[in-house]
Amino acid sequence: MHARTRPARRLLTACPSRLRRADEAMCCLHGDKTPEIHRKPARRGDFGWLISLLHVHLPLCLSEREIDLFVLVESVNMSESEKELGEQRDSTKKKKKKKKKETPSGKTKKKQQQGERREQEVVQREQVEEEHSDSVVLRGIFKLGKKSHDVLLTRTRLTWTPITPETPTTGEACPPQPGVLLLRDVYAVKVKRRRSAGQESGGAVLGVALFCCRRRGRRLEQDTLQLHNASAEHTHTWYNTLKELLTAFSRPRYLKVFINPSSYKKESVHIYREHVAPLFKMADVRTDITVTERKGHALSVMKECKLDEYDGVVCVGGDGSVAELCHALVLRAQLDADSPEKPVRPVLPLGIIPAGSTDVVSCSVHGVRDPVTAALHIVLGHKQQVDMCSFSSLGQLVCFGFSAMFGFGGQSLARAEKKRWMPTSRRREYALVKTLARLRPEDCQLSFLPAKTSTRNLSEHRDNQDLDRGPEETWTTNQGLYLNISIMSIPCLSPHAPRGLAPNTSLANGSAALIAVGNTSRSEFIKHLKRYSSSSEPFSFSFVDTHAVSAVRIRPRSLVGWTEEEEESEEEEGESRPTPIIQSEGAAFPWNIDGELVEIANEVLVRVHPRLITLCGEELDEAESTISCSCF
């Protein structure tokens, strides 16, 4: 027999079953034809059913002819020895893998951690998809940039995942990271079209554009998500559905806007036109604009206008304009409710666009001094209930406000008001230096009611509660000399005091911060003032007392008033006294109430009214309520 048949013969004789199957295959031959037996081999490594391809080339003498026979033999079962050998090989491989896993290098550890994180992210995404699978509204394919994405729309969010080709890869493929956009951050939806120059309407449909806000700390920035799809029917279906979902959010549709053109640097009109009006137009918000001409103009308009037509009021100006509109809103609510004595919470929220010199209220509510952030809070319908104070004298209401200063704060403001012709920064420096040069304490009786609770969030049944405690509550009274007394129901953040003038209070904790600075030397008082602009604690001095209060009464002992000394200085300087917002008969003491000069001759009673006013802004958690102003 030919030499080439020896390996095949040895293989056939080694296993009788294989030889028997080969004989059966040979018996099937007819004539000179040599049949070919083809069977699809199973997977390699499947030790239960191993397909061995036996390529046998046998020159046989059959009818004096040499026949080349190719036999495909399938071994049904492995021998026990082969199984044992396979199991031993598998065990050795597993041991090697375990050893490698037990002593991984630094890179492999990082890869393992990354893999575990990816698996966790995938599981979380699957859980989120399962939670929102029941509320899926639309699903489609759009292009974001140059890649196609699977876009999923629910009633609360929009998610998109890149579509990747299903091709095998050598390494572990990184799962595509889905993008998420909450619908509460979307303020406008538009159909994107391609138009030629001069074309005002129509055009080829390109997709849907979602206008939303992006958060960077406390600052809100404008952002746009472009979903490209050339199908007009598909695009309009998504556009109409998104518009319908956005109507579920409480957003303003018609606003009453007051602009103070004479505020800081006289830039209010420019700020509104450049930063605020385009956002209102994009969000389909209609506006009724009033440009104030004098102090008290906004108050007179608010008393006469029909507030039922509006969804909110917007103030473009400084702290004085904000205080005037807050005062007007509360008075109008009292008038509508026929409650002349008890404060009533206004129905309409107030949006504040900062355009003043310090913008204390805007910085305290928004955390930043940015008109775009303030405008986005308005169009998105963010609301924050804030405590307010009422200031009264001899039973008569003077005004509503957020903060007040008596002593140094009132005297410096009175001097600054006499120099209105100066630039704001120079006028402020002049007033501070002049008041420090003539620093003198006020002899007064200070009484206060400690706050019953220090919690930052009061229950709803106390929101509109009057804080008249009754006869069982006793006042704490101190008599002495004070350089400055401050009462603040908000933190009073500003660029000059990044941590706030009252960092220990919050916007809606139902109490105010009483800061009483006793008589001390000029140098110590200056150290106290300097600490407001730094990270140091301004209340660590022995002459500074702080209390959380619900009511304060200040009764000056000397009714001669602050004006006698000022009249002498006015005669020397040859200038006329400024006209305060509220005048009192006889001698009066200057008060700084929300940055506005108010002169009151008699004692002043300050009461805190929890959550009396609603401002446009986001509510903060207790951990975030003490913030730092990142004003520009």
Write out the DSSP string of 542-608. TTEEEEEEEEEEEEES-TT-SHHHHHHHHHHHT-PPP--SS--SSS-EEEEETTEEEEESS-EEEEE
Residue appearing with tokens 């109430």: 593
Distance in angstroms (rounded) separating the CA atoms of residues 354 and 493: 13
> Could you tell me if 614 and 383 are in contact, meaning their C-beta atoms sit under 8 angstroms apart?
yes
> Could you tell me if 316 and 257 are in contact, meaning their C-beta atoms sit under 8 angstroms apart?
yes
> Could you tell me if 611 and 345 are in contact, meaning their C-beta atoms sit under 8 angstroms apart?
yes
Apex 206 CA angle, 202 and 210, nearest 5: 100
The one-letter code for the residue type at 375 is A
> In order of start, what are the domains of the chain with their CATH numbers?
3-80 (no CATH), 125-162+177-195+203-249 (2.30.29.30), 253-382 (3.40.50.10330), 384-615 (2.60.200.40)
Distance in angstroms (rounded) separating the CA atoms of residues 340 and 363: 31
The token pair that represents 507 in the structure block: 């916007």
> What separation in angstroms does the CA of 381 have from each of 70, 119, 285?
82, 37, 12
> Could you tell me if 482 and 518 are in contact, meaning their C-beta atoms sit under 8 angstroms apart?
yes
Instruction: Give the DSSP H or E segment for 180.
Output: strand 179-182
Write out the DSSP string of 479-538. EEEEEEEEEESS---BTTBTT-SSTT--SSSS-EEEEEEES--HHHHHHHHHGGGSSS-T
Report how far Cα 527 is from the mean position of its chain's Cα atoms: 36
The pTM assigned to this predicted structure is 0.72
> Could you tell me if 150 and 163 are in contact, meaning their C-beta atoms sit under 8 angstroms apart?
yes
Taken in order 544, 545, 550, 554, the sign of the CA dihedral is negative
Q: Give the pLDDT means over successive 10-residue stretches in the chain (632 positions).
A: 46 48 48 44 44 40 40 40 53 50 54 68 60 74 90 92 70 70 94 80 88 92 93 93 92 96 89 96 96 93 92 95 95 92 93 92 93 96 95 93 95 90 85 92 94 53 44 82 96 89 91 95 93 85 94 81 44 40 58 93 94 88 45 44
Contacts (Cβ under 8 Å, ≥6 apart) of 356: 263, 264, 317, 318, 319, 320, 321, 595
Write out the DSSP string of 142-176. EEETTEEEEEEEESSEEEEEE-------SSPPPPP
pLDDT of residue 8: 44
Provide the terminal-to-terminal Cα distance of the chain, rounded to the nearest Å: 100
Distance in angstroms (rounded) separating the CA atoms of residues 513 and 549: 6
pLDDT of residue 177: 75
Distance in angstroms (rounded) separating the CA atoms of residues 9 and 28: 20
Distance in angstroms (rounded) separating the CA atoms of residues 561 and 599: 10
Which one, of 588, 591, 590, 597, lies nearest residue 561 by Cα? 588
> Could you tell me if 489 and 402 are in contact, meaning their C-beta atoms sit under 8 angstroms apart?
yes
pLDDT of residue 428: 86
Contacts (Cβ under 8 Å, ≥6 apart) of 151: 138, 139, 140, 141, 142, 158, 159, 160, 227
Instruction: Give the DSSP H or E segment for 409.
Output: helix 408-417
Q: Order of strands across the sheet with 186-194?
A: 179-182, 157-162, 147-154, 136-144, 219-228, 204-216, 186-194
The token pair that represents 52 in the structure block: 């061995």
The token pair that represents 163 in the structure block: 């579509």
